[in-house]
Structure 1
Amino acid sequence: MNASSSGQGHTLKPVLSTLQLWAIAVGLVISGEYFGWSYGWASAGTLGFTVTALFIAAMYATFIFSFTELTTSIPHAGGPFAYSKRAFGPVGGYLAGAATLIEFVFAPPAIALAIGAYLNVQFPDIDPKLAALGAYLVFMTLNIVGVQIAATFELFVTLLAIFELLVFMGVVAPGFSLANFTKGGWSGSDGFSMAAVPGMFAAIPFAIWFFLAIEGVAMAAEEAKDPKRSIPIAYITGILTLVVLAIGVMLFAGGAGDWTKLSNINDPLPQAMKLIVGDNSNWLHMLVWLGLFGLVASFHGIILGYSRQIFALAREGYLPAYFARVHPRFKTPHRAILAGGVVGIAAIYSDELIKIGGQTLTANIVTMSVFGAILMYILSMLSLFRLRRAEAGLERPFRAPLYPYFPAFALFGALVCMATMIYYNPLIFGIFVALLALGYAWFLATARQRAEGAAAVAEF
């Protein structure tokens, strides 16, 4: 094996600062503060969904504190794939890698279409799908040109997105009423009863949407200047930032007026602000325009995440080696960036052709993404427990606090989420399992190729 294929050709450049990693952590997720979560009100009510959201926030917080131990101990672009492979061997690596890939490849098309729909509202002559395609082309190019440029842009749009959320809370605060928030807060009832519990479970995917993909920072570990120090800071401050924003957005939106009018729409924040400032306020126009930055931050960040996962899987022989090449000038996994984009663009243009459970494919790809995320969370926590026993001497720059309770709670929460998701989405789960099975067939068929590649690397 020559140097180009085992050395520089497959090596990422460590350039990311702590602040840039924090921006990636928050930016990956922040679109979830703008849309999607309010559908949880439709099934659980404001108070019921608050309970669900707090449970999910606790799961994510304990997961991130635990996951950080893995990320700093094994700073690998494959993230969960690398941890599970080390803990459970090639099959464990395959399952975690495939789950993470499904999470990160299926989320961007939904966000791209949201960007297209937003632009269509402002400019009715623009085709939303064409705008979504344009978003892919622009941000894939930005990611290819260089991770430093991409991360700096991510920092900029993330700060703007946070600023907008703070502006929203400040503008609606004078009209906030706790009575508005609590009225009919338990699945339409003013008082809690066991009848509200099923709705709270059904709302779990929408609470997950508040935090989905924050773990993507792990896939930038090889590009961090000082991963042992910067990743824990980025993760912990990132999850705290998102929890505060999620609680604030949910509380102020629900207290602005009749929350039932916000529970089945894609733009709850502008509509909540309308209840306070009216239809023609300059504040409202600013919120609508800046709303694009929240979508862009997540879309751009997830492209970075999926590309590193494809790159890492290809480098290890789980995907064709073609995708493991790094651009000779920009030092970015350009082929992996383009590959994930092709899948996303195909999803955008197939949403009217393929229907699942009576809805378009695009309406269900977020659920598919969540299935991938939850499976990855389960495997990551199991990997943490196994590596603690099997490799007690492994250098751990950051150790999960309150071990084993934090990772155990994160694992318990993920299992509850998985069971709930399967119950409410059996057809999509079946397709998810079918995708894993197809991937496993490829995994078995390429076992010899991986063995020969590993031997060649060891010999080199």
Structure 2
Amino acid sequence: MAENKVGGVTYEHAGAEYFEKRQLKRHARIGSLWALGVGAVISGHFSGWNLGVASGGWGGMLLAALIIAVMYLGLSFSLAEMSPAMPHTGGAYSFARSAMGPWGGFITGLAETIEYIITPAVIVFFLGSYLTSIFETGAELQPLWWIGAYFLFVLLNCWGVAVSFRVSVVVTLLALLVLVVFYASALPQADFGRWALNIAAGPDGKPVELPEGHGAFLPFGWSGVLAAMPFAVWLYLAIEELPLAAEESHDPKRDMPKGLMLGIATLITSAMLVTFCNASIGGHAQGQLRGAFSLGTSAEPLLDGFRTLYGTGIAKLLSLFAVVGLVASFHTILFAYGRQIYSLSRAGYYPRFMSLTGAVSKTPHVALVTGALAGLAVLLTVWFSRGAEEGGAIIGGTLLNMAVFGAMLSYAFQGLSFILLRIKMPNLERPYKSPFGVPGAAATIAIALVTLYQQLQDPAYLKGVYAALGWYVAGILYFALVGRHRLVLSPEERFALEGKEAA
């Protein structure tokens, strides 16, 4: 390979054979893209978001969900403009590379790597917990469920893009059906004042239960709203993965904006419904929710909501409902990290062998296996080094915050990329233009940074942030010492170097 130095990086010019071994196959249309985006997020409507109720009360959680929705709207519209203009698999890395150079592209891509590897690892942990309960296997055997789930769904993703998208559509529709059944069941029995407003701030500032409800809308004031924001992220986290499917979409310039808009509209509607319905039901029998107060500490809020509505006699069937949502997100985020690792590897930022695709399937099987091994390594290290009980708590809290940390950094960089591209490349062909423009991208940056700051205020979650920073520093050192000297003129890199001149 011939070398070419540009700025502080070195490109090695790869021949046609290099890219022939790294080809993808087009399959996705609007429906597949919608399912990919919604499916990636949907498990967050089953659990995770509700922990913000303990921080801000129901009103604080609702306002936090609305503020975070503004951030994701700004992000989604920005992506809807950038992705058709730069329809490459790189997604966030691709946009940042064109806007901020190789270092900007790498640090943005690295942030998404943290998010997309850690998120499915946490999801598969919860999936293993549910399956352990359903099939009554020993708690010490949970790692076998994790390994089995990774094996099955990595295999499905490696099989072919058509199979991968079909599975995404089916599991996403099933997960949404479960949510619709819950909403239809809960709305007739909802007693908002009695159950959703049954939290007050105790003398020590911690939540206490109001037996008759009808408390303050914001029991912890605006500080509670801010504290709930990192948890509200789980109602929308990972919708931003859609641009990673650009090279596997038949018409990304037409379909990507529509898929993003339909996806975020679906998620905001469901987020408002689950926030209201889950908190507005309650009872006093064992195993039932007691409105917002018990919702704020529930590990399985949707499942507890079903138990409150239908009793505990069909608990295993209800648990299977919850598994559907976890499977939908697990499968679709595996797709995301596979393409994200593939694009950075194809360009030489990560070791190049990771971008090899199957001769027949044309799927990035090496990247998919690499991400699975990394996620499993994190899970097994925590589980066996800390024991089942403490390890489970770390996985459910610390690792979640690692994912949010990576996501917030990525969003801030993507918002900044949008603004810089509007300035640096004003004549770039943009098949779709964001109606919110620069103000929308600026709002995304501001809210992402506020959410990141709030993570640093909670000592319980600082370990996750520090762990993510350690991962980040290690990645930057690798790029500084090795990766920046081994770059390849992939489609993302070629556009960044030549697209500016054409624009």
Normalising by the smaller structure, the TM-score range is over 0.9
- Check if 1:171 corresponds to 2:185: yes
Partner of residue 450, structure 1: 486
Letter in 2 for 1:449: H
Deviations for 1:359-390, whole angstroms, at most 9, x for unmatched residues? Answer: 52453111101111100100001011101111
| Distance of 1:216 and 1:15 partners within structure 2 | 17
Contact 1:157/1:294, CA 8 A, preserved across alignment? yes
Higher mean C-alpha displacement, 60-69 vs 338-347: 60-69
Partner of residue 90, structure 2: 78
| Distance of 2:422 and 2:177 partners within structure 1 | 40
User: Normalising to structure 1: TM-score of the pair?
Assistant: 0.93
Partner of residue 376, structure 1: 410
Distance 1:295 1:357, change over 3 A: closer
Picking from 297, 303, 317, the partner of 1:270 is 303
Higher mean C-alpha displacement, 150-159 vs 46-55: 46-55
Deviations for 1:127-183, whole angstroms, at most 9, x for unmatched residues? Answer: 222111100000000000001101001100100000010001112222211123442
| Distance of 2:253 and 2:449 partners within structure 1 | 29
Distance 1:428 1:274, change over 3 A: closer
Partner of residue 315, structure 1: 346
| Distance of 2:425 and 2:65 partners within structure 1 | 35
Q: After TM superposition, which residue ranges in structure 1, 4 or more long, deviate above 4 angstroms?
A: 185-189, 192-195, 353-359
| Distance of 2:281 and 2:150 partners within structure 1 | 35
| Distance of 1:225 and 1:192 partners within structure 2 | 48
Letter in 2 for 1:376: S
| Distance of 1:115 and 1:159 partners within structure 2 | 18
| Distance of 2:184 and 2:420 partners within structure 1 | 46
Partner of residue 498, structure 2: none
Contact 2:338/2:367, CA 8 A, preserved across alignment? yes
Contact 2:55/2:227, CA 8 A, preserved across alignment? yes
Matches within 5 A, 1:169-318: 169-185=183-199, 188=207, 190-191=215-216, 195-257=220-282, 258-259=290-291, 260-280=293-313, 286-318=317-349
| Pairwise CA distance, 1:84 | 0.5
- Check if 1:149 corresponds to 2:185: no
The SS at the match of 1:10 is coil
| Pairwise CA distance, 1:216 | 0.8
| Pairwise CA distance, 1:287 | 3.5
Matches within 5 A, 1:301-380: 301-353=332-384, 359-361=393-395, 363-380=397-414
Distance 1:244 1:120, change over 3 A: same
Letter in 2 for 1:59: M
Contact 1:112/1:133, CA 8 A, preserved across alignment? no
Contact 1:180/1:254, CA 8 A, preserved across alignment? no
**CA RMSD, Structure 1 to Structure 2 (Å):** 2.1
Partner of residue 17, structure 2: 4
Contact 1:129/1:349, CA 8 A, preserved across alignment? yes
Deviations for 1:284-325, whole angstroms, at most 9, x for unmatched residues? Answer: 664432221111110000000001111011111110011011
Identity value in percent = 33
Higher mean C-alpha displacement, 292-301 vs 200-209: 200-209
Listed as ranges, the gaps of 5+ residues in structure 1 are: none
Higher mean C-alpha displacement, 323-332 vs 68-77: 68-77
User: Normalising to structure 2: TM-score of the pair?
Assistant: 0.86
Distance 1:152 1:359, change over 3 A: closer
Partner of residue 469, structure 2: 433
Contact 2:74/2:436, CA 8 A, preserved across alignment? no
Contact 2:190/2:281, CA 8 A, preserved across alignment? yes
Aligned length: 453
| Pairwise CA distance, 1:185 | 4.7
The SS at the match of 1:332 is coil
Partner of residue 393, structure 1: 427
| Distance of 1:137 and 1:447 partners within structure 2 | 29
Contact 2:418/2:438, CA 8 A, preserved across alignment? no
Distance 1:341 1:47, change over 3 A: same
Letter in 2 for 1:147: V
Partner of residue 130, structure 1: 144
Higher mean C-alpha displacement, 324-333 vs 124-133: 124-133
Letter in 2 for 1:65: F
| Pairwise CA distance, 1:37 | 1.1
Deviations for 1:203-239, whole angstroms, at most 9, x for unmatched residues? Answer: 2121001111111111111100000111111111101
Partner of residue 8, structure 2: none
| Pairwise CA distance, 1:62 | 1.9
